[in-house]
Structure 1
Amino acid sequence: MVATTVPTTRVSWLRYGALAAKLILFALLLSALIWPDLSGIKGKASTARLVIYPLGVMVLPLWWWAYGRAKSKLHTSFPWHADLLMTLPWVLDLIGNRLNLFDTVSWWDDAMHFILWGFLTAGVLLAFGPRDLTRALTAFVALGFGATAAVVWEVGEYYAFIRNSSELQTAYTDTLGDLALGTLGALLAGLIIHRARSRVRT
């Protein structure tokens, strides 16, 4: 595991931000269990989300605890910046559903696919991507991860709830748009991460 070194002065707020995001996520999931009708995810694969979302935000901490600490050669502290970026997509998705933004704001779904896939890809690159990749290779890695993750998400959405919902009629067009926006968000994240790392090296 290789990650960008973060100045000590930023570690505290990144740590608190990542922990706060996880607390918000688990609070939203708990409220969905207690008040499913108010969760915003009822009828939208709520059971799958209750399982997958906690796993999504715990991937990096669990990997670090089991493997990353011993293999990290560039730093000894947990990569809170990457953890925050990998946590935000799950939290913002739940907040958007809880506030019914996906169904009431026409551009919200498109914006989320672009932005959240960018966050997730940036976090994965910072946590697991070698720092010495060229811009082209960083872009290819970002595209590979982002496009694959977007496809897996869309397939999961289809089998979890879209095939049996009224959204099926527009699913093809919506899925193509989501895949394109998620991939573009991932590509932009890769280019930003490469530029940031280049500036640190210089």
Structure 2
Amino acid sequence: MRRVSWWVPVLVLVATVAQLAVAQWVPGIERFEGKAFGARLVAYPVLMLLAPAVWWLVDRRRAVRSAAPYGAFTLVMLPFLVDVTGNSLDLYDAVVWWDDLNHFANWLLLCAGLGLLLCRAVEPRWAVVALVTGLGAVLAIGWELGEWFTFIRHGTEAGTAYEDTLGDETLGTLGALVAGLLVAHTLARAGARGPARTDP
């Protein structure tokens, strides 16, 4: 991937946190009500910073330090920004297909970033596709469990939650599959050109 500067993931993080703060602390915005934005204000920044934190802890133990993969960090962080922005613009209620697109595209972005971080040494390349797809499926299940416990079980969507959950998990897994194919292709091309770069 083309080199990405450090400020890109920082900008994604700041834009996400700013919208979460508005959703939590500015009263009277109906589209934010009942969607657990207090929990998101804590969880989203922590989840967005988890990949950089783990990478830094691992990298500092290496004899030779590598350049930070800001591109991969950005891919991991973007789904949180997309989700919050979709709520800020009321796209979940105004656009029928927005939620479905979100689950596919956000899992593609998230799993592409994770794949670039985790799969550089994975061989053969088909194993990259399997690993990224499986990771995406597990994360999709975890996400749906989180939604259930934070706002669905006591909200107005409980009656349609089963069908929606199945659809969301399927779309998330399909997004992860596409991400796995893209990561495998990217790593194969990088391998053909020479030693893998350390800043995807």
Fold in common (TM above 0.5): yes
Change (3 A) 1:39 1:191: farther
Q: Determine if the alignment matches structure 1 residue 114 to structure 2 residue 107.
A: no
Change (3 A) 1:42 1:197: same
The alignment of Structure 1 onto Structure 2 pairs a total of residues equal to 192
The equivalent residue for 1:60 is 51
Q: Determine if the alignment matches structure 1 residue 105 to structure 2 residue 95.
A: yes
Say which of 107, 116, 119 aligns to 1:129: 119
Say which of 33, 39, 43 aligns to 2:24: 33
1:51: Cα distance to partner? Answer: 1.4
Say which of 114, 130, 142 aligns to 1:140: 130
RMSD of aligned alpha carbons? 1.9
The equivalent residue for 1:50 is 41
Misfit runs of 4+, over 3 Å: none
The worse-fitting range, judged by mean Cα deviation, of 118-127 and 63-72 is 63-72
The equivalent residue for 2:61 is 70
1:69: Cα distance to partner? Answer: 3.2
In structure 1, stretches of 5+ residues that fail to align are 1-5
TM-score normalized by the length of structure 1 = 0.87
C-alpha separation between the residues in 2 aligned to 1:144 and 1:72?
A: 31
SS at match of 1:130: coil
1:39: Cα distance to partner? Answer: 7.9
**Is 2:126–2:184's contact at 8 Å kept on the other side of the alignment?**
no
C-alpha separation between the residues in 1 aligned to 2:23 and 2:190?
A: 42
TM-score normalized by the length of structure 2 = 0.88
1:67: Cα distance to partner? Answer: 2.6
Q: Deviations over 1:46-73 (max 9, x none)?
A: 2221111011110022223333233386
User: Which one has a larger percent helix, Structure 1 or Structure 2?
Assistant: 1
Q: Determine if the alignment matches structure 1 residue 17 to structure 2 residue 8.
A: yes
